[in-house]
Structure 1
Amino acid sequence: MPNKSLLVCAFFFLCCFAILQAQEEKNTAIKEPTIKSEVPKIIETDSIVEIRDPINPLAPAKAAFYSAILPGLGQAYNKKYWKIPIVWGAIGTGIYFYTSNNKEYHRYRDAYKSRLAGFTNDEFYYDGNGNKLTTPTVTDEGLERGQKFYRRNKEISLLVTLGLYALNIIDANVDAHLMQYNIDENLSLAPHYKINEFDASSSLGLTLNFNF
Protein backbone atom coordinates (compact mmCIF):
# COMPACT_ATOMS: atom_id res chain seq x y z
CA MET A 1 0.00 0.00 0.00
CA PRO A 2 2.69 2.59 0.76
CA ASN A 3 4.29 1.98 -2.62
CA LYS A 4 0.99 2.42 -4.43
CA SER A 5 0.35 5.71 -2.60
CA LEU A 6 3.76 7.01 -3.65
CA LEU A 7 3.07 6.04 -7.26
CA VAL A 8 -0.31 7.76 -7.23
CA CYS A 9 1.20 10.93 -5.76
CA ALA A 10 4.02 10.93 -8.31
CA PHE A 11 1.56 10.42 -11.14
CA PHE A 12 -0.60 13.27 -9.84
CA PHE A 13 2.34 15.67 -9.68
CA LEU A 14 3.45 14.71 -13.20
CA CYS A 15 -0.03 15.39 -14.57
CA CYS A 16 -0.15 18.81 -12.88
CA PHE A 17 3.28 19.70 -14.22
CA ALA A 18 2.31 18.69 -17.76
CA ILE A 19 -0.89 20.73 -17.58
CA LEU A 20 0.98 23.83 -16.35
CA GLN A 21 3.64 23.44 -19.09
CA ALA A 22 1.00 23.16 -21.81
CA GLN A 23 -0.83 26.23 -20.51
CA GLU A 24 2.39 28.29 -20.48
CA GLU A 25 3.22 27.32 -24.07
CA LYS A 26 -0.30 28.27 -25.15
CA ASN A 27 -0.03 31.70 -23.54
CA THR A 28 3.35 32.28 -25.20
CA ALA A 29 1.95 31.34 -28.61
CA ILE A 30 -0.93 33.82 -28.20
CA LYS A 31 1.34 36.72 -27.23
CA GLU A 32 3.84 36.39 -30.13
CA PRO A 33 1.58 37.76 -32.93
CA THR A 34 0.74 40.75 -30.72
CA ILE A 35 4.43 41.57 -30.33
CA LYS A 36 5.10 41.21 -34.08
CA SER A 37 2.17 43.45 -35.01
CA GLU A 38 3.57 46.40 -33.11
CA VAL A 39 4.76 49.03 -35.61
CA PRO A 40 6.72 52.12 -34.70
CA LYS A 41 4.56 55.20 -35.01
CA ILE A 42 7.42 57.50 -36.00
CA ILE A 43 9.48 56.79 -39.10
CA GLU A 44 12.58 58.89 -39.52
CA THR A 45 12.78 60.62 -42.88
CA ASP A 46 15.90 60.92 -44.96
CA SER A 47 17.83 64.01 -43.95
CA ILE A 48 19.31 64.33 -47.46
CA VAL A 49 15.98 65.43 -48.98
CA GLU A 50 16.00 69.21 -49.39
CA ILE A 51 12.87 71.20 -48.61
CA ARG A 52 12.39 73.72 -51.43
CA ASP A 53 10.86 77.16 -51.23
CA PRO A 54 7.22 77.49 -52.32
CA ILE A 55 6.63 78.42 -55.97
CA ASN A 56 5.78 82.07 -56.62
CA PRO A 57 3.60 82.20 -59.77
CA LEU A 58 4.01 85.99 -60.04
CA ALA A 59 7.83 85.93 -60.09
CA PRO A 60 8.16 85.66 -63.93
CA ALA A 61 5.73 88.53 -64.47
CA LYS A 62 7.54 90.69 -61.91
CA ALA A 63 10.93 89.99 -63.49
CA ALA A 64 9.62 90.91 -66.96
CA PHE A 65 7.98 94.09 -65.62
CA TYR A 66 11.17 95.20 -63.89
CA SER A 67 13.24 94.62 -67.03
CA ALA A 68 10.71 96.61 -69.06
CA ILE A 69 11.07 99.57 -66.70
CA LEU A 70 14.88 99.41 -66.53
CA PRO A 71 16.94 96.89 -68.53
CA GLY A 72 18.87 94.67 -66.15
CA LEU A 73 16.52 95.22 -63.21
CA GLY A 74 14.74 91.92 -63.88
CA GLN A 75 18.08 90.12 -63.88
CA ALA A 76 18.84 91.72 -60.52
CA TYR A 77 15.45 90.50 -59.25
CA ASN A 78 16.43 86.96 -60.31
CA LYS A 79 19.80 87.45 -58.56
CA LYS A 80 21.68 86.97 -61.85
CA TYR A 81 23.82 90.02 -61.31
CA TRP A 82 26.48 88.92 -63.82
CA LYS A 83 23.96 89.45 -66.64
CA ILE A 84 23.44 93.15 -65.88
CA PRO A 85 26.69 94.37 -67.56
CA ILE A 86 25.88 92.22 -70.61
CA VAL A 87 22.40 93.73 -70.91
CA TRP A 88 23.64 97.29 -70.49
CA GLY A 89 26.55 96.74 -72.88
CA ALA A 90 24.33 95.25 -75.60
CA ILE A 91 21.63 97.92 -75.40
CA GLY A 92 24.20 100.68 -74.97
CA THR A 93 26.02 99.55 -78.13
CA GLY A 94 22.78 99.63 -80.09
CA ILE A 95 21.99 103.12 -78.83
CA TYR A 96 25.51 104.31 -79.71
CA PHE A 97 25.27 103.15 -83.33
CA TYR A 98 21.78 104.61 -83.70
CA THR A 99 22.93 108.00 -82.36
CA SER A 100 26.04 108.01 -84.53
CA ASN A 101 24.17 107.14 -87.74
CA ASN A 102 21.40 109.60 -86.95
CA LYS A 103 23.95 112.39 -86.51
CA GLU A 104 25.63 111.63 -89.83
CA TYR A 105 22.26 111.45 -91.56
CA HIS A 106 21.34 114.94 -90.35
CA ARG A 107 24.71 116.30 -91.49
CA TYR A 108 24.14 115.12 -95.06
CA ARG A 109 20.50 116.13 -95.06
CA ASP A 110 21.18 119.67 -93.79
CA ALA A 111 23.91 120.16 -96.40
CA TYR A 112 21.66 118.85 -99.16
CA LYS A 113 18.76 121.10 -98.14
CA SER A 114 21.15 124.08 -98.01
CA ARG A 115 22.30 123.44 -101.56
CA LEU A 116 18.73 123.05 -102.79
CA ALA A 117 18.07 126.52 -101.34
CA GLY A 118 20.99 127.91 -103.40
CA PHE A 119 23.58 128.27 -100.62
CA THR A 120 27.23 127.20 -100.92
CA ASN A 121 28.27 127.51 -97.31
CA ASP A 122 27.68 124.01 -95.94
CA GLU A 123 30.45 122.20 -94.06
CA PHE A 124 31.56 120.24 -97.14
CA TYR A 125 32.69 123.50 -98.82
CA TYR A 126 35.44 123.90 -96.20
CA ASP A 127 38.63 121.96 -95.57
CA GLY A 128 40.01 120.86 -92.22
CA ASN A 129 41.62 124.30 -91.62
CA GLY A 130 38.39 126.22 -92.24
CA ASN A 131 39.38 127.42 -95.73
CA LYS A 132 36.56 127.60 -98.26
CA LEU A 133 36.91 125.42 -101.32
CA THR A 134 35.79 126.17 -104.85
CA THR A 135 34.28 122.71 -105.19
CA PRO A 136 32.79 120.79 -102.24
CA THR A 137 34.35 117.56 -100.99
CA VAL A 138 30.95 115.84 -101.36
CA THR A 139 28.84 116.37 -104.43
CA ASP A 140 25.05 116.65 -104.49
CA GLU A 141 24.79 113.01 -105.60
CA GLY A 142 27.13 112.07 -102.75
CA LEU A 143 24.87 113.86 -100.29
CA GLU A 144 21.88 111.85 -101.56
CA ARG A 145 23.77 108.58 -101.26
CA GLY A 146 25.00 109.56 -97.80
CA GLN A 147 21.45 110.26 -96.61
CA LYS A 148 20.22 106.87 -97.84
CA PHE A 149 23.20 105.05 -96.32
CA TYR A 150 22.98 106.58 -92.86
CA ARG A 151 19.19 106.46 -92.77
CA ARG A 152 19.26 102.72 -93.46
CA ASN A 153 21.97 102.20 -90.85
CA LYS A 154 20.12 104.14 -88.16
CA GLU A 155 16.92 102.20 -88.87
CA ILE A 156 18.81 98.91 -88.55
CA SER A 157 20.44 100.15 -85.35
CA LEU A 158 17.04 101.07 -83.95
CA LEU A 159 15.59 97.65 -84.77
CA VAL A 160 18.60 95.89 -83.20
CA THR A 161 18.31 98.04 -80.07
CA LEU A 162 14.59 97.29 -79.73
CA GLY A 163 15.32 93.59 -80.27
CA LEU A 164 17.94 93.61 -77.52
CA TYR A 165 15.50 95.42 -75.22
CA ALA A 166 12.84 92.77 -75.88
CA LEU A 167 15.40 90.00 -75.41
CA ASN A 168 16.29 91.48 -72.03
CA ILE A 169 12.62 91.19 -70.97
CA ILE A 170 12.28 87.65 -72.32
CA ASP A 171 15.48 86.54 -70.59
CA ALA A 172 14.28 87.82 -67.21
CA ASN A 173 10.89 86.15 -67.64
CA VAL A 174 12.25 82.77 -68.76
CA ASP A 175 14.98 82.81 -66.13
CA ALA A 176 12.40 83.38 -63.39
CA HIS A 177 10.42 80.40 -64.72
CA LEU A 178 13.44 78.10 -64.81
CA MET A 179 14.55 79.08 -61.30
CA GLN A 180 11.32 77.59 -59.91
CA TYR A 181 11.52 74.30 -61.79
CA ASN A 182 12.59 71.47 -59.48
CA ILE A 183 15.01 69.37 -61.49
CA ASP A 184 16.25 67.38 -58.51
CA GLU A 185 16.93 63.76 -59.49
CA ASN A 186 15.29 62.56 -56.27
CA LEU A 187 11.93 63.69 -57.60
CA SER A 188 12.06 61.78 -60.89
CA LEU A 189 13.28 58.41 -59.61
CA ALA A 190 13.57 57.76 -55.89
CA PRO A 191 13.67 54.65 -53.65
CA HIS A 192 10.97 54.18 -51.03
CA TYR A 193 10.70 51.99 -47.92
CA LYS A 194 7.29 50.97 -46.62
CA ILE A 195 6.20 49.01 -43.53
CA ASN A 196 3.03 46.94 -43.62
CA GLU A 197 1.01 47.72 -40.49
CA PHE A 198 -0.86 44.40 -40.52
CA ASP A 199 1.96 41.87 -40.43
CA ALA A 200 4.90 44.20 -39.67
CA SER A 201 6.61 43.24 -42.95
CA SER A 202 8.64 45.73 -45.00
CA SER A 203 8.96 46.39 -48.71
CA LEU A 204 11.54 48.26 -50.77
CA GLY A 205 10.94 49.73 -54.22
CA LEU A 206 11.37 52.67 -56.63
CA THR A 207 9.01 55.56 -57.31
CA LEU A 208 8.91 57.22 -60.76
CA ASN A 209 7.16 60.60 -61.05
CA PHE A 210 6.13 62.43 -64.22
CA ASN A 211 5.34 66.16 -64.17
CA PHE A 212 3.37 67.71 -67.04
Structure 2
Amino acid sequence: MISAIVFDAFGTIVRIRRRTSPYLQLMREGRRQGLSITPESTHFAMTANLPFAGIADYLGISLSASKRIELSEALEKELSSIEPYPDAIRAIAELKDSDILVAVCSNLAQPYGPVVKELFPNIKHHAFSFELGVTKPDPHIYRFICGQMGVDPGHCFDAEKGQVLMIGDSPKCDRDGPRAAGIMGHLLRRDGHGPITDLTQFAQLLLDRNQAERQGR
Protein backbone atom coordinates (compact mmCIF):
# COMPACT_ATOMS: atom_id res chain seq x y z
CA MET A 1 0.00 0.00 0.00
CA ILE A 2 1.12 3.53 -0.71
CA SER A 3 1.28 5.24 2.68
CA ALA A 4 3.03 8.58 2.01
CA ILE A 5 3.61 11.06 -0.81
CA VAL A 6 6.35 13.71 -0.93
CA PHE A 7 5.85 16.67 -3.24
CA ASP A 8 8.39 19.09 -4.63
CA ALA A 9 7.34 22.73 -4.28
CA PHE A 10 8.03 25.05 -7.24
CA GLY A 11 6.88 23.73 -10.57
CA THR A 12 4.95 21.00 -8.79
CA ILE A 13 2.49 22.36 -6.22
CA VAL A 14 3.21 26.11 -6.56
CA ARG A 15 4.27 28.50 -9.30
CA ILE A 16 5.64 32.04 -9.54
CA ARG A 17 3.46 34.32 -11.67
CA ARG A 18 5.80 37.35 -11.64
CA ARG A 19 9.37 36.14 -11.70
CA THR A 20 11.84 38.86 -10.70
CA SER A 21 14.75 36.54 -9.72
CA PRO A 22 16.02 38.65 -6.78
CA TYR A 23 18.76 36.17 -5.83
CA LEU A 24 20.05 36.10 -9.40
CA GLN A 25 20.07 39.89 -9.37
CA LEU A 26 22.01 39.81 -6.10
CA MET A 27 24.64 37.47 -7.52
CA ARG A 28 25.00 39.67 -10.60
CA GLU A 29 25.52 42.67 -8.35
CA GLY A 30 28.25 40.77 -6.52
CA ARG A 31 30.03 39.98 -9.79
CA ARG A 32 29.68 43.61 -10.85
CA GLN A 33 31.55 44.52 -7.67
CA GLY A 34 34.35 42.14 -8.60
CA LEU A 35 33.49 39.43 -6.10
CA SER A 36 34.01 35.75 -6.83
CA ILE A 37 30.41 34.59 -7.13
CA THR A 38 30.40 30.85 -7.81
CA PRO A 39 27.83 28.03 -7.82
CA GLU A 40 28.82 27.57 -4.16
CA SER A 41 27.48 31.08 -3.50
CA THR A 42 24.10 30.09 -4.88
CA HIS A 43 24.21 26.85 -2.91
CA PHE A 44 24.87 28.87 0.25
CA ALA A 45 21.81 31.02 -0.43
CA MET A 46 19.70 27.85 -0.61
CA THR A 47 21.12 26.24 2.52
CA ALA A 48 21.59 29.15 4.92
CA ASN A 49 18.75 30.04 7.26
CA LEU A 50 19.27 33.73 6.61
CA PRO A 51 17.05 36.50 5.22
CA PHE A 52 17.86 38.04 1.86
CA ALA A 53 19.94 40.86 3.36
CA GLY A 54 21.85 38.36 5.48
CA ILE A 55 22.89 36.43 2.36
CA ALA A 56 24.20 39.65 0.81
CA ASP A 57 26.15 40.54 3.94
CA TYR A 58 27.67 37.07 4.28
CA LEU A 59 28.82 37.04 0.65
CA GLY A 60 30.30 40.50 1.05
CA ILE A 61 27.98 42.13 -1.47
CA SER A 62 27.69 45.80 -0.65
CA LEU A 63 24.24 47.23 -1.29
CA SER A 64 23.48 50.91 -1.39
CA ALA A 65 20.26 52.03 0.22
CA SER A 66 18.57 52.35 -3.17
CA LYS A 67 19.85 48.95 -4.39
CA ARG A 68 18.73 47.30 -1.15
CA ILE A 69 15.23 48.75 -1.60
CA GLU A 70 15.19 47.71 -5.27
CA LEU A 71 16.10 44.10 -4.53
CA SER A 72 13.80 43.92 -1.52
CA GLU A 73 10.90 45.10 -3.66
CA ALA A 74 11.81 42.55 -6.33
CA LEU A 75 11.76 39.81 -3.70
CA GLU A 76 8.41 40.91 -2.29
CA LYS A 77 6.90 41.13 -5.76
CA GLU A 78 8.00 37.58 -6.53
CA LEU A 79 6.85 36.22 -3.17
CA SER A 80 3.43 37.86 -3.48
CA SER A 81 2.95 36.29 -6.92
CA ILE A 82 3.39 32.70 -5.73
CA GLU A 83 0.21 30.68 -6.06
CA PRO A 84 -0.80 27.03 -5.81
CA TYR A 85 -1.59 24.96 -8.87
CA PRO A 86 -5.32 24.13 -8.80
CA ASP A 87 -4.61 20.45 -9.48
CA ALA A 88 -2.23 20.40 -6.50
CA ILE A 89 -4.97 21.60 -4.17
CA ARG A 90 -7.35 18.92 -5.42
CA ALA A 91 -4.78 16.12 -5.41
CA ILE A 92 -3.52 16.84 -1.90
CA ALA A 93 -7.06 17.02 -0.53
CA GLU A 94 -7.95 13.68 -2.13
CA LEU A 95 -4.82 11.99 -0.80
CA LYS A 96 -5.32 13.30 2.72
CA ASP A 97 -8.98 12.25 2.64
CA SER A 98 -7.70 8.73 1.92
CA ASP A 99 -5.37 8.87 4.95
CA ILE A 100 -2.20 9.07 2.85
CA LEU A 101 0.51 11.15 4.50
CA VAL A 102 1.57 14.22 2.51
CA ALA A 103 4.80 16.22 2.74
CA VAL A 104 6.80 18.85 0.85
CA CYS A 105 10.53 18.56 0.14
CA SER A 106 12.17 21.42 -1.74
CA ASN A 107 15.32 23.42 -2.36
CA LEU A 108 14.36 26.89 -1.18
CA ALA A 109 15.93 30.11 0.03
CA GLN A 110 14.58 31.15 3.41
CA PRO A 111 11.93 33.74 2.39
CA TYR A 112 10.06 31.19 0.26
CA GLY A 113 9.41 28.61 2.97
CA PRO A 114 6.72 30.50 4.90
CA VAL A 115 4.86 31.24 1.65
CA VAL A 116 4.65 27.55 0.74
CA LYS A 117 3.48 26.69 4.26
CA GLU A 118 0.84 29.42 4.19
CA LEU A 119 -0.55 28.26 0.84
CA PHE A 120 -0.87 24.67 2.09
CA PRO A 121 -1.66 24.93 5.81
CA ASN A 122 -2.96 21.35 5.84
CA ILE A 123 0.53 19.98 5.06
CA LYS A 124 2.38 19.55 8.35
CA HIS A 125 5.60 17.88 7.16
CA HIS A 126 8.33 19.87 5.39
CA ALA A 127 11.95 19.43 4.40
CA PHE A 128 13.39 22.69 3.12
CA SER A 129 17.03 23.07 2.15
CA PHE A 130 17.50 26.36 4.02
CA GLU A 131 16.45 24.66 7.26
CA LEU A 132 18.49 21.48 6.81
CA GLY A 133 21.69 22.90 5.29
CA VAL A 134 21.62 20.45 2.36
CA THR A 135 19.90 20.44 -1.02
CA LYS A 136 18.29 17.71 -3.05
CA PRO A 137 19.52 15.23 -4.20
CA ASP A 138 21.50 14.80 -0.96
CA PRO A 139 19.98 11.65 0.60
CA HIS A 140 19.78 13.31 4.03
CA ILE A 141 16.90 15.54 2.93
CA TYR A 142 14.82 12.54 1.79
CA ARG A 143 15.57 10.58 4.95
CA PHE A 144 14.66 13.60 7.05
CA ILE A 145 11.21 14.02 5.53
CA CYS A 146 10.49 10.31 5.87
CA GLY A 147 11.53 10.53 9.51
CA GLN A 148 9.14 13.44 10.01
CA MET A 149 6.28 11.36 8.64
CA GLY A 150 7.33 8.28 10.59
CA VAL A 151 7.75 6.13 7.48
CA ASP A 152 10.65 4.02 6.27
CA PRO A 153 12.04 5.13 2.88
CA GLY A 154 13.60 1.73 2.19
CA HIS A 155 10.42 -0.15 1.29
CA CYS A 156 9.42 1.43 -2.00
CA PHE A 157 8.81 -2.01 -3.51
CA ASP A 158 7.38 -3.69 -0.40
CA ALA A 159 3.59 -3.38 -0.31
CA GLU A 160 3.40 -4.95 3.13
CA LYS A 161 5.58 -2.30 4.79
CA GLY A 162 4.08 0.76 3.12
CA GLN A 163 5.43 2.60 0.14
CA VAL A 164 6.72 6.16 -0.03
CA LEU A 165 6.53 8.05 -3.33
CA MET A 166 7.81 11.44 -4.44
CA ILE A 167 6.88 13.60 -7.41
CA GLY A 168 8.38 16.75 -8.86
CA ASP A 169 9.62 18.38 -12.04
CA SER A 170 13.35 17.60 -11.69
CA PRO A 171 14.70 14.25 -12.94
CA LYS A 172 17.77 14.63 -10.74
CA CYS A 173 16.11 15.85 -7.55
CA ASP A 174 12.60 14.42 -7.63
CA ARG A 175 12.99 11.13 -9.49
CA ASP A 176 16.57 9.81 -9.37
CA GLY A 177 17.59 11.25 -5.97
CA PRO A 178 14.61 9.82 -4.11
CA ARG A 179 15.03 6.42 -5.78
CA ALA A 180 18.61 6.24 -4.56
CA ALA A 181 17.27 6.80 -1.03
CA GLY A 182 14.55 4.14 -1.30
CA ILE A 183 11.67 6.38 -2.35
CA MET A 184 9.91 5.74 -5.64
CA GLY A 185 10.47 9.04 -7.45
CA HIS A 186 8.20 10.17 -10.29
CA LEU A 187 8.65 12.95 -12.82
CA LEU A 188 5.87 15.50 -13.38
CA ARG A 189 5.80 16.91 -16.90
CA ARG A 190 3.33 19.76 -17.01
CA ASP A 191 4.27 20.35 -20.65
CA GLY A 192 2.44 17.15 -21.55
CA HIS A 193 5.56 15.25 -22.62
CA GLY A 194 5.44 12.41 -20.14
CA PRO A 195 3.23 9.79 -18.53
CA ILE A 196 2.33 12.09 -15.59
CA THR A 197 1.17 15.55 -16.66
CA ASP A 198 -0.84 16.81 -13.67
CA LEU A 199 -1.26 15.98 -10.01
CA THR A 200 -4.94 15.09 -10.15
CA GLN A 201 -4.02 12.29 -12.55
CA PHE A 202 -1.16 11.26 -10.27
CA ALA A 203 -3.38 11.13 -7.18
CA GLN A 204 -6.00 9.07 -8.97
CA LEU A 205 -3.38 6.54 -10.09
CA LEU A 206 -2.24 6.12 -6.49
CA LEU A 207 -5.75 5.83 -5.09
CA ASP A 208 -6.68 3.29 -7.76
CA ARG A 209 -3.56 1.29 -6.94
CA ASN A 210 -4.35 1.24 -3.21
CA GLN A 211 -7.94 0.25 -3.94
CA ALA A 212 -6.81 -2.61 -6.18
CA GLU A 213 -4.46 -3.87 -3.47
CA ARG A 214 -7.27 -3.79 -0.88
CA GLN A 215 -9.56 -5.76 -3.16
CA GLY A 216 -6.84 -8.27 -3.93
CA ARG A 217 -6.34 -9.22 -0.31
TM-score bucket (shorter structure): under 0.3
Tell me the TM-score normalized by structure 2. Answer: 0.21
Tell me the TM-score normalized by structure 1. Answer: 0.21
Structure 1 or 2: more strand by fraction: 2
